[in-house]
């Protein structure tokens, strides 16, 4: 009975999407496919050649890395500790500097439009600079060492943190803040009493997340002379001392996994 | 004493919130403002603590025109006017005691409040306020663990902790069920009588307005269309205020259940 009447009405059943939307999506889909095909044809020669050579070389290179020389673990540990310290200092400083910047770039707190746009633009520019470029600039300015690495990490993580936290602030429930304003509280009191409790769990979670990123980033920064384990790795590769390099890579791997595990557990407990 | 003298308010988008309002509210009165949604009840109430600013006329609170107030003056005015909201407006992640202490913010220095260094008597006052609304056993619970009626009681305790001379309540029972609504209104009425705090409540339930108000002010389209003691009000009066016949959903009911 029901099926019959449905079959009868079939011609009148409306489509889920209007015909115009369907046509648009189809055109976009084929345009994207076409773009992939075109770029494949343009680059195919180099890609296949590249893979072919790499595959034949791979075993030869890999053999040099094994077995890793685990006797150097004791010797590289101080450098690894330096890398972790860099990440800790940079994350801490960035977490502190983020607070005013995130507040100034949140539309619901900074109602004075020009100030909001200036901070927002400043943060956007900050985020467009890659961390490696920052490190190269600071190493050029301050010389090889830990300090330029920390500076690069601070600016790099400030960009990410301020953006993430200002968006959290904008999603906050403004009603309690209105209640506090109605009872004569000033802006600072409203922020500390109404806003901070709502943002704190996410804030902590983001800081831990940025700390993880900073550990990995500080390894890479070491390659351009910004101190820590990356610098040692670069030296060992430079001396063609592959077993030592392999040990360093394994140590980095273990440390990063351990830190990610711990910080994941903390974040799960927070949210 | 609150005096509206020819008060008008035009919102930036051109909507007229208030039109030539003239009302005097004496100390200790329990006034209920009735009207349909959009009639200007909220605008009226929020003008008194300047959450919105009227664009014409004079608004006197304790014989001072508050429309010129800014900054510190405005905050001082707000410390003596407590406000209760439809959605309770508590910080959901904070505990009950901390939410109630927020009522003291206007009386507490910025540094002191940031580090939660409240005076002993302030904490005692907050606890006493919670006892008055019978929710003292929940002080360390998070606000979002409480039911709607409990949250509204916490927000009443917050207002009590503020030690105000006036209480404004903007649709305090609109999100509650009938028995809880009556409970909340009973607390407001009790506080009004015991502490002699002038109380102005927005309601759209006519039976509740008649039951609790000393005086009823009716509003329609930004104008005051009725102002008189609750004893003079009949269903006929409400039909004039609303501009239509009274319907089932204009009544809260449940008065005998509480």
- Decide if B105 and A183 are in contact by the 8 Å CB cutoff: yes
Inside any domain, residue A84? yes
Query: Do A208 and A267 touch, CB atoms closer than 8 A?
Result: yes
Lowest mean pLDDT among A40-44, A121-125, B40-44, B142-146: A40-44
Query: Do B217 and B34 touch, CB atoms closer than 8 A?
Result: yes
Identify the sign of the CA torsion A187, A189, A193, A196.
positive
What does the pLDDT read at residue B188?
93
Q: Is B156 on the interface with A (CB under 8 A)?
A: no
- Decide if B49 and A182 are in contact by the 8 Å CB cutoff: yes
Identify the sign of the CA torsion A236, A239, A241, A242.
positive
- Decide if B113 and A193 are in contact by the 8 Å CB cutoff: yes
Q: Is B174 on the interface with A (CB under 8 A)?
A: no
Q: Is A189 on the interface with B (CB under 8 A)?
A: yes
Same domain, A81 and A34: no
Same domain, A147 and A239: yes
CA distance linking residue B77 with residue A57, whole number of Å: 79
A19-70 residue pLDDT tens: 888 999 999 999 999 999 888 887 766 665 556 666 777 777 777 777 877 7
CA distance linking residue B78 with residue B85, whole number of Å: 15
- Decide if A192 and B113 are in contact by the 8 Å CB cutoff: yes
- On the CB side of A33, CA atoms within 13 Å amount to 6
Same domain, A136 and A51: no
Same domain, A105 and A58: no
**Number of domains forming the structure of chain A:** 2
CA distance linking residue B11 with residue A2, whole number of Å: 55
Q: Is A186 on the interface with B (CB under 8 A)?
A: yes
Same domain, A80 and A53: no
Same domain, A125 and A166: yes
Inside any domain, residue A135? yes
Q: Which of A42, A63, A84 is the last residue of a domain?
A: A63
Inside any domain, residue A69? no
Which residue's entry shows tokens 């009716």? B218
Same domain, A133 and A196: yes
Inside any domain, residue A217? yes
| Residue B110: closest C-alpha in chain A | A189
CB atoms within 10 A of CB B16: 16
Residue A7 clears pLDDT 90, i.e. is over it: no
Q: Is B82 on the interface with A (CB under 8 A)?
A: yes
Residue A178 clears pLDDT 50, i.e. is over it: yes
- Omega before A67 within 30 of 0, i.e. cis: yes
Domain of A99: which CATH number? 1.10.3720.10
CA distance linking residue B199 with residue B219, whole number of Å: 17
A68: its two tokens: 């890793």
Residue B185 clears pLDDT 90, i.e. is over it: yes
Query: Do B67 and B2 touch, CB atoms closer than 8 A?
Result: no
Q: Which of A63, A97, A116 is the last residue of a domain?
A: A63
- Decide if B91 and A197 are in contact by the 8 Å CB cutoff: yes
H or E element at residue A242:
helix A242-270
A100-121 residue pLDDT tens: 999 999 988 888 889 999 999 9
Inside any domain, residue A229? yes
Report, as an integer, the average pLDDT of A83-97: 92
Inside any domain, residue A163? yes
Lowest mean pLDDT among A9-23, B1-15, B107-121: A9-23
Same domain, A21 and A141: no
H or E element at residue B202:
strand B198-202
CA distance linking residue B199 with residue A185, whole number of Å: 21
Q: Which of A29, A63, A97 is the last residue of a domain?
A: A63
Query: Do A219 and A228 touch, CB atoms closer than 8 A?
Result: yes
Inside any domain, residue A265? yes
- Decide if A175 and B49 are in contact by the 8 Å CB cutoff: no
Same domain, A136 and A30: no
Phi, psi of A24 (to 5 degrees): -60, -50
Of A6-20, A50-64, B46-60, B236-250, highest mean pLDDT: B46-60
Which residue's entry shows tokens 């290179």? A61
What does the pLDDT read at residue A46?
61
Which residue's entry shows tokens 């995130």? A102
Domain with A165, as residue range(s), is: 75-270
CA distance linking residue B223 with residue B8, whole number of Å: 9
Same domain, A143 and A53: no
Inside any domain, residue A68? no
Query: Do A119 and A104 touch, CB atoms closer than 8 A?
Result: yes
H or E element at residue B65:
strand B64-65
Same domain, A211 and A254: yes
* C-alpha B71, offset from chain centre: 22
Same domain, A42 and A157: no
Residue A237 clears pLDDT 60, i.e. is over it: yes
Which residue's entry shows tokens 């009588």? B193
């Amino acid at each position: 009975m029901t099926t019959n009447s449905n079959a009868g009405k079939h011609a009148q059943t409306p489509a889920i999407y209007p015909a115009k939307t369907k046509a648009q999506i189809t055109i976009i889909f084929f345009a994207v496919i076409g773009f992939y095909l075109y770029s494949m044809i343009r680059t195919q020669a180099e890609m296949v050649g590249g893979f072919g050579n790499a595959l034949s070389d791979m075993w030869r290179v890999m053999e040099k890395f094994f077995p890793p020389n685990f006797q150097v673990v004791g010797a590289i540990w101080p450098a690894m500790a330096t890398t972790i310290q860099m990440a800790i200092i940079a994350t801490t400083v960035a977490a502190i500097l983020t607070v005013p910047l995130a507040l100034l770039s949140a539309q619901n707190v900074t109602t004075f439009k020009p100030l909001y746009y200036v901070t927002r633009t400043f943060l956007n520019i900050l985020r467009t600079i890659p961390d490696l470029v920052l490190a190269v600039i600071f190493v050029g300015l301050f010389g090889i060492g830990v300090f330029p690495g920390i500076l690069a990490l601070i600016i790099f993580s400030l960009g990410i943190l301020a953006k993430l936290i200002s968006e959290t602030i904008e999603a906050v429930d403004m009603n309690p803040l209105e209640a506090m304003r109605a009872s004569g509280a000033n802006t600072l009191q409203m922020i500390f009493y109404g806003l901070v409790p709502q943002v704190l769990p996410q804030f902590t979670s983001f800081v831990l997340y940025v700390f993880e990123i900073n550990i990995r980033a500080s390894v890479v920064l070491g390659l351009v002379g910004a101190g820590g384990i990356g610098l040692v790795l670069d030296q060992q590769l430079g001396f063609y001392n592959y077993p030592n390099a392999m040990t360093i890579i394994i140590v980095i791997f273990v440390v990063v996994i351990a830190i990610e595990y711990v910080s994941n557990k903390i974040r799960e407990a927070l949210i | 004493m609150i005096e509206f003298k020819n008060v008008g308010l035009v919102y930036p988008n051109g909507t007229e919130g208030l039109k030539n309002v003239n009302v005097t509210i004496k100390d200790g009165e329990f006034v209920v403002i009735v009207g349909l949604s959009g009639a200007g009840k909220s605008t009226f109430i929020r003008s008194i603590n300047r959450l919105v600013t009227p664009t014409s006329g004079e608004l006197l609170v304790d014989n001072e025109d508050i429309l010129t107030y800014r900054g510190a003056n405005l905050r001082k005015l707000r410390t003596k006017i407590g406000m209760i909201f439809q959605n309770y407006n508590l910080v959901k992640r904070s505990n009950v005691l901390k939410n109630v202490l927020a009522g003291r913010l206007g009386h507490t220095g910025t540094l002191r409040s940031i580090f939660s260094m409240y005076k002993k008597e302030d904490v005692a006052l907050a606890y006493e306020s919670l006892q008055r609304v019978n929710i003292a056993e929940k002080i360390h619970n998070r606000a979002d663990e409480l039911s709607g009626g409990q949250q509204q009681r916490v927000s009443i305790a917050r207002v009590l902790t503020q030690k105000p001379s006036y209480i404004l309540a903007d649709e305090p029972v609109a999100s509650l069920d009938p028995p809880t609504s009556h409970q909340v209104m009973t607390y407001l009425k009790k506080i009004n009588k015991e502490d002699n705090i002038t109380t102005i409540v927005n309601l759209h339930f006519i039976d509740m307005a008649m039951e609790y108000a000393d005086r009823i002010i009716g509003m329609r389209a930004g104008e005051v269309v009725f102002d008189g003691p609750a004893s003079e009000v009949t269903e006929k009066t409400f039909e004039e205020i609303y501009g239509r016949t009274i319907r089932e959903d204009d009544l809260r009911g449940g008065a005998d259940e509480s």
